[in-house]
Amino acid sequence: MGDTPDSARLIEEHLPLVRHIVFQVAVHFPRHVDRDELARAGALGLVEAARRYDEARGVPFDRFAAQRIRGAILDAVRAADWAPRSVRTLARKLEAAEQRLATELGRVPSLREMADELGITLADLSKLQDRLFRSVVLALEHEVTDDVDEDLTLVDVLVDRTAVEPLEELETRELHAYLRDAVDLLPERQRLVIVGYFLENRTSLELAHFLGVTESRISQLRSEALAMLKEGIERQYEGTEVPAEEPVGRVAKRKAHYAEAIGEASAWKSRLDQVITDDIVEDEPLPVGVPYHTVGV
């Protein structure tokens, strides 16, 4: 038939048919599928139907166009859907089971009830749901809130993990600077254990031979050092509005002196200027290939 005044008239008269068919088929698609996109695909199907319609065949135009419109909508959805048909079949099976149970129970069924209804285990149901969740593709323009006063789309709430905020970068530099100073200010044996174990991948047995102690003593030194590092660094972030109480006891005074030394080891500007490097401390690494019990401490 081609583009003729008759085809233009048919298109104009049957535009409501597109909306009607979109309403019919949309109930079978997830909420994230854009209904406007379905309507545009349906409209193209209507145009194609008007061009190809042959009145001599005796088929009413609305019936002929309805098939073309529905086919165009389904083709558009399939083209935008990267999930295999098997996943969509599983999705329909899962949805039907959920609706059936919800009708019988009068509430949303539990995962156990869903698994029993489908005749599968909870683990298999979890794998099935994971496949379905990974098959959902959302457009960046997809709205993620129903609040009319807050028009947020998916692109507004996505976090770029590769980009670091300036404040976060400064906080990280400060924390690493505190860590470098805190490790450097540890008592000698504890510092050697931390450096050897965490930075040089030494085993507890190697460190025990090096320091001339037992492996259990190495574990104790490591625990003590980690506790000192944690408490010492945390003290750098405590508020100063309320004056700290005078420490009582030898251990408390030693911890307070250690925390104070960390805060005074570097100026605040130099901490923020530093970048993350592997040389947390300036100590030479433990010798390689030399029996540790022969190396002086």
Average pLDDT over residues 92-96: 79
pLDDT at 219: 93
Average pLDDT over residues 28-48: 81
Specify whether the CB–CB gap between 55 and 6 falls below 8 A. no
Predicted confidence (pLDDT) at residue 88 exceeds the cutoff of 80 = no
pLDDT tens-place string over residues 141-164 = 555 555 555 666 655 656 566 666
- Side-chain-side CA neighbours of 126 within 13 Å: the count stands at 4
pLDDT at 190: 94
The CA distances from residue 210 to 85, 156, 234, in Å, are 63, 55, 31
DSSP class of residue 1 equals -
Q: Which of 19-28, 124-133, 151-160, 260-269 has the lowest mean pLDDT?
A: 151-160
Q: What is the CATH number of domain 5-80?
A: 1.10.1740.10
Annotated domain spans of the chain = 5-80, 85-157, 166-294
Better-predicted residue by pLDDT, 252 or 287? 252
Predicted confidence (pLDDT) at residue 288 exceeds the cutoff of 60 = no
The CA distances from residue 246 to 43, 54, 230, 233, 253, in Å, are 80, 98, 20, 19, 8
pLDDT at 228: 92
Separation between Cα atoms, residue 109 and residue 204, nearest integer Å:
52
For domain 85-157, which architecture applies?
Orthogonal Bundle (1.10)
Better-predicted residue by pLDDT, 249 or 177? 177
pLDDT tens-place string over residues 52-85 = 888 888 888 888 888 889 888 877 776 665 556 6
Separation between Cα atoms, residue 98 and residue 77, nearest integer Å:
24
Predicted confidence (pLDDT) at residue 46 exceeds the cutoff of 70 = yes
pLDDT at 229: 93
pLDDT at 278: 42
The per-residue pLDDT of the chain, averaged, comes to 77
pLDDT at 87: 67
DSSP result, 118-174: HT--HHHHHHHHHHHHHT----TT-B----TT---BHHHH---TT---HHHHHHHHH
Average pLDDT over residues 202-224: 93
Predicted confidence (pLDDT) at residue 296 exceeds the cutoff of 50 = no
Model pTM above 0.85 = no
For domain 166-294, which architecture applies?
Up-down Bundle (1.20)
